[in-house]
């Protein structure tokens, strides 16, 4: 590689399509002669990393990697990658290139690809741009083609920090293999996401891989033969001798779109190369096809193609005569619009750039400023700016975005429920994610708060399709005086007209903070949450030590998900079973400690946040931890309710009601002691039990599905039976009891009301004859026969209503986790009524037996007295009358 080529690579890579530099000069004095510039990698923060090499001969360089870090302020630091890369990597292989390669890795790292012949493998060193090696990862096996090591593999990094990188290589003469790796994790390790193969029609056919905005990769294959790739796709295809296809690889899904034919030509004997890139400020993707006639290598014909993600070509033009006697080295889409074609003139030994506007039209020739060693020891670096083809990007580094809410560097309240992005053009929602992160300016990794795919119901449009709005959960911006940024992946939205994916917003661009507010104090509390069915099974299979480790890690992951100081969360307690879910799920308890710091999240807000995080786990950090992903979304995080604490005001109200009824009873007893004044307690108790039964079915019945139908059956059927029995009893009493009929004529409305109320409990009919407080309205002369029927009807109701409802309430306690006031009052009233009915029936039985015994004694005494009349013993008239009455 010549010095001029080295200079070219330096200039080419220093002009980052995502960064615009103003003209400046940097001078740097080296301490060692003979160093040459090999490559330069530039980053979004303005720092550039220069890779220097020292040739040994025409084929090899010294086996080391020297770096120079150029800072925006003009200072230069020296660094070295200290790793034992095998020396043969620093010599040219059969293809004329070194076997090692280095690419930038966003946001501030480098990837170094090298081969290890001993293990026949490719490896990637992941290092900081200051040379510190973080990890060494196996990538793929070395290919052996025709008995020779064919180490032609290379890395393709994505322009988005959210995406990983792709490794591509000839596996055989007709197979290109690809592997897609994730971006590095916290420890710098890569993981293989997917791999696949792309089949060629020509042996070792030229291919070019480039990243697209939507996170996928395009691979362009040029075939310069008469081979027909798809005989059924084209009409008489054999007449075409050159064809270019593009296939879009979706590495995450391991699927492809294509191949799409983007060019074909009938001109014979052409050697075709391709360069492709994304149109950052425009729409779609653009490729240069460079045609060289085999008989005249100095004649180039260049065609620029613009095509959509669907493969549809919407612009194709031939680029003039500026490419005679020059070599096109590369082609770049520029962030601020337009394209840059870099040319090398080997005869004049010059490098220049041709600038095209967004439409691909010639805009001008741009001469590169010199980059040279002033002498053997001094490096002089010059650079300048490129023209812009669109207005200011407003700090988002996205030419399509007009504004956002929140805006960059703004302060927002914790209560916001939506974020908005307004574009310069109409858009449609696509598939990739919008992610919200919380970060610390000092140290620590950013915390992912919410990540929503574009095709979810969290998004909505404005009427003109130029603004998208995303719903924000209440747990997302939950930390006062904290810093946040939002990442918008490429292909979150697409152009409404062409359906092509649009650029997103990278990390640390859309930044803002929350306002500082004080929080009210809240007492410590306990919350419960449930494992999923799969989580329950996995937990049960763990050993005791494994279960303890799981619970310990779960506590850590929950503190990071909220986020909250881990000391605010007590140890997770296990295990109960939630039998209301089938099969039963394990329930866990988490005590949350209070804080006196008004600027920390209080207990109530932590419980609320955890409930939201778990219920919406598909878009929150809960689904991204190995432990919290096992939490049941439908259950959420529920406060463990203590009836005395949570319902103390309800209980106070009940006590006051009892006190009031007590005073009314005392008043009634004093006014008319002979009345059945106890009905002052019975009546409201029966009515309350009826109301609570309805509320229980409506509010709590479905909490335990297996109890829902029985609850309805044993609530409705007793009402129907009681009402029918009450109506029959009343009609019989009206028909047979003349005194009751007289009362009935004067109190029809009261009689009808209590007939209806008797559906709740047949005991209601006895209130009509209770004479409570001496009120004549409740002085119905009900016969002993009717009271007998009421007694036995109420006895039947004990078995068809009271006892089953009590059993249902007992089972409900065992089958639910959170027991609230409605089931509590329902159980309380059912218990009192059941106990009263049982005890009263026992007492009535005792009275009945005692009365029967007394009747027998009195009959014997009467018979004895009557027998003594014959002995001239006179029985007083009064006694005789009483005896007849007793009879």
From 155-164, 269-278, 553-562, 614-623, the region with the lowest mean pLDDT: 269-278
**Pair (534, 436) in one structural domain:** no
- Number of C-beta neighbours around residue 575 at 10 A: 14
Q: What is the phi-psi region of residue 577: left when phi exceeds 0, alpha when psi lies from -120 to 50, beta otherwise?
A: beta
Tokens of 796: 């039947």
Asked whether residue 293 is assigned to any structural domain, the reply reads: no
Residue 464 pLDDT class (50, 70, 90 cuts): very high
Spatial separation of the C-alpha atoms in residues 276 and 752, rounded to whole Å: 90
* Same domain assignment for residues 618 and 584: yes
Same domain, 677 and 614: no
Residue % of the chain over a pLDDT of 70: 83
pLDDT value at residue 4? 37
Residue 695 domain flag: yes
Task: At 837, give phi and psi (nearest 5°).
Answer: -65, -45
Is it the case that residue 866 has pLDDT exceeding 60? no
Residue 78 lies in a domain: no
Question: How many structural domains comprise the chain?
Answer: 3
pLDDT at 485: 96
Q: What is the pLDDT of residues 417-433, one digit of tens each?
A: 999 999 999 999 998 99
* Closest to 13 (Cα-Cα) out of 100, 111, 92, 104: 104
Q: What tens digit of pLDDT does each residue of 373-419 get?
A: 556 677 666 666 677 776 667 888 888 899 999 999 999 999 899 99
Q: Are residues 734 and 690 located together in one domain of the fold? A: yes
Residues 506 and 625 placed together within one structural domain of the fold: no
Single residue among 480, 514, 548 that ends a domain in this structure: 514
The tens digit of pLDDT for each residue in 302-346 reads 888 888 888 888 888 887 666 666 777 778 887 777 888 887 776
197 inside domain: no
Question: Of 457, 480, 514, which closes a domain?
Answer: 514
Are residues 621 and 651 both part of a single domain? no
> Does 635 lie in the same domain as 655?
no
Task: List beta partners, residue 104.
Answer: 110
CATH number (domain holding residue 561): 3.30.300
Is there a single domain that holds both residue 449 and residue 558? Answer: no
The pLDDT tens digits for 55-87 are 999 899 999 999 989 888 878 899 999 999 999
Q: Is residue 729 part of a domain?
A: yes
Query: According to the per-residue pLDDT averaged within each range, which of 122-131, 360-369, 779-788 is highest?
Result: 122-131
224 is a domain residue = no
Residues forming a β-bridge with 342: 330, 353
> Does 705 map to a domain?
yes
Ranges 18-27, 112-121, 534-543: which has the least confidence: 18-27
Tell me, yes or no, whether 533 and 568 share the same domain. yes
- Its domain, for residue 545, covers 529-639
Best-predicted range by mean pLDDT among 131-140, 574-583, 769-778? 131-140
| In a domain? residue 799 | yes
Which residues touch 484 (CB under 8 Å, ≥6 apart)? 436, 437, 438, 439, 449, 477, 511, 512, 513, 514
One domain for residues 660 and 794? yes
**Whats the size of the chain, residue-wise?**
887
Domain end marker among 599, 616, 639: 639
Bond into 575 cis (ω within 30): yes
Report whether pLDDT(876) > 80: no
Same domain, 631 and 650: no
How far apart are the C-alpha atoms of 135 and 125, rounded to whole Å?
Answer: 6
Considering the domain architecture, whether residues 680 and 780 belong to the same structural domain is answered as yes
């Amino acid at each position: 590689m010549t010095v001029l080529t080295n200079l070219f690579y330096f200039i080419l890579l220093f002009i980052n399509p995502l960064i615009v530099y103003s003209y400046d000069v940097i001078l740097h004095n080296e301490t060692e002669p003979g160093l040459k510039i090999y490559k330069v990698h530039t980053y979004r923060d303005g720092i550039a990393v220069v890779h220097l090499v020292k040739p040994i001969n025409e084929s090899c360089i010294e086996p080391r990697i020297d770096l120079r870090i150029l800072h925006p302020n003009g200072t230069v630091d020296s660094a070295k990658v200290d790793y034992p890369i095998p020396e043969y990597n620093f010599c040219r292989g059969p293809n004329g290139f070194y076997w090692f390669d280095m690419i930038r890795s966003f946001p501030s790292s480098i990837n170094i690809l090298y081969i290890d012949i001993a293990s026949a493998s490719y490896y990637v060193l992941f290092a900081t741009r200051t040379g510190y090696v973080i990890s060494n990862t196996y990538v793929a096996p070395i290919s052996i083609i025709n008995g020779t090591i064919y180490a032609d593999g290379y890395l393709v990094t994505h322009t988005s920090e959210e995406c990983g990188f792709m490794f591509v290589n000839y596996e055989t003469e007709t197979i290109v293999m690809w592997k897609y790796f994730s971006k590095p994790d916290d420890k710098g390790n890569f993981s293989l996401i997917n791999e696949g193969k792309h089949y060629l029609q020509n042996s070792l056919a030229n291919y070019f891989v480039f990243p697209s905005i939507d996170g996928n990769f395009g691979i362009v294959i040029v075939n310069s033969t008469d081979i027909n790739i798809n005989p059924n796709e084209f009409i008489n295809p054999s007449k075409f001798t050159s064809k270019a296809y593009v296939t879009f690889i979706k590495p995450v899904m391991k699927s492809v779109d294509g191949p799409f034919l983007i060019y074909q030509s009938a001109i014979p004997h052409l050697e075709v190369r391709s360069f492709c890139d994304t149109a950052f400020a425009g729409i779609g993707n653009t490729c240069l096809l460079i045609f060289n006639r085999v008989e005249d290598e100095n004649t180039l014909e260049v065609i620029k193609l613009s095509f959509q993600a669907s493969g549809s070509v919407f612009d194709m033009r031939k680029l003039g005569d500026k490419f005679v006697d020059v070599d096109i080295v590369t082609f770049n889409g520029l962030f601020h619009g337009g394209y840059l074609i870099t040319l090398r003139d080997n005869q004049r030994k010059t490098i220049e750039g041709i600038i095209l506007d967004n439409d691909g039209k010639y805009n001008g020739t741009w001469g590169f400023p010199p980059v040279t060693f002033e002498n053997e020891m001094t490096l002089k670096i010059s650079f300048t700016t490129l023209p812009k083809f669109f207005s200011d990007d407003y700090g988002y580094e996205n030419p399509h975005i007009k504004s956002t809410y929140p805006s960059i560097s703004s302060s927002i309240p914790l209560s916001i429920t939506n974020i908005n992005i307004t574009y310069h053009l109409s858009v449609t929602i696509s598939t990739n994610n919008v992610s919200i992160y919380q970060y610390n300016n000092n140290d620590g990794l950013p915390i992912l708060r919410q990540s929503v795919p574009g095709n979810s119901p969290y998004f909505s449009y404005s009427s003109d399709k130029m603004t998208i709005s995303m719903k924000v959960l209440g747990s997302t911006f939950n930390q006062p005086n904290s810093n946040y940024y939002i990442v918008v992946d490429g292909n979150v939205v697409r152009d409404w007209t062409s359906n092509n994916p649009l650029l997103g917003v990278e990390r640390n661009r859309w930044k803002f903070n929350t306002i500082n507010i004080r929080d009210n104090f809240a007492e410590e509390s306990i919350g419960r949450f449930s494992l999923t069915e799969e989580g329950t099974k996995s937990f049960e299979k763990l050993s005791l030590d494994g279960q303890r480790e799981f619970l310990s890690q779960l506590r850590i992951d929950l503190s990071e998900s909220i986020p909250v100081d881990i000391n605010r969360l007590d140890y997770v307690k296990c295990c109960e079973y939630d039998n209301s879910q089938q099969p039963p799920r394990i329930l866990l308890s988490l005590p949350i400690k209070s804080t006196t710091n008004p600027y920390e999240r209080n207990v109530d807000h932590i419980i609320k946040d955890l409930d939201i995080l778990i219920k919406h786990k598909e878009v929150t950090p809960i689904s991204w931890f190995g432990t919290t992903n096992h939490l049941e979304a439908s259950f959420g995080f529920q406060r463990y309710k203590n009836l005395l604490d949570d319902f103390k005001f309800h209980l106070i109200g009940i006590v006051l009601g009892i006190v009031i009824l007590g005073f009314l009873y005392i008043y009634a007893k004093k006014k008319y002691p002979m009345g059945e004044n106890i009905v002052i307690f019975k009546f409201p108790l029966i009515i309350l039990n009826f109301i609570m039964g309805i509320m229980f079915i409506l509010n709590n019945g479905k909490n335990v599905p297996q109890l829902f139908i029985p609850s309805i059956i044993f609530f409705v059927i007793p009402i129907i039976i009681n009402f029918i029995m009450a109506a029959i009893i009343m009609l019989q009493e009206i028909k047979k009891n003349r005194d009751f009929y007289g009362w009935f004529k004067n109190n029809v409305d009261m009689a009808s009301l209590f007939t209806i109320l008797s559906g709740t409990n047949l005991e209601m009919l006895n209130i009509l004859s209770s004479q409570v407080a001496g009120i004549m309205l409740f002085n119905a002369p009900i016969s002993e026969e009717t009271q007998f029927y009421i007694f036995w009807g109420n006895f039947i109701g004990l078995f068809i209503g009271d006892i089953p409802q009590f059993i249902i309430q007992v089972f409900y306690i065992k089958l639910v986790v959170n027991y609230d006031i409605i089931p509590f009052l329902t159980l309380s009233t059912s218990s009192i009524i059941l106990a009263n009915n049982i005890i009263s029936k026992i007492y009535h039985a005792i009275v009945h037996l005692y009365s029967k015994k007394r009747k027998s004694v009195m009959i014997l005494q009467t018979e004895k007295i009557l027998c003594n009349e014959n002995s001239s013993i006179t029985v007083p008239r009064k006694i005789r009358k009483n005896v007849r009455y007793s009879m």
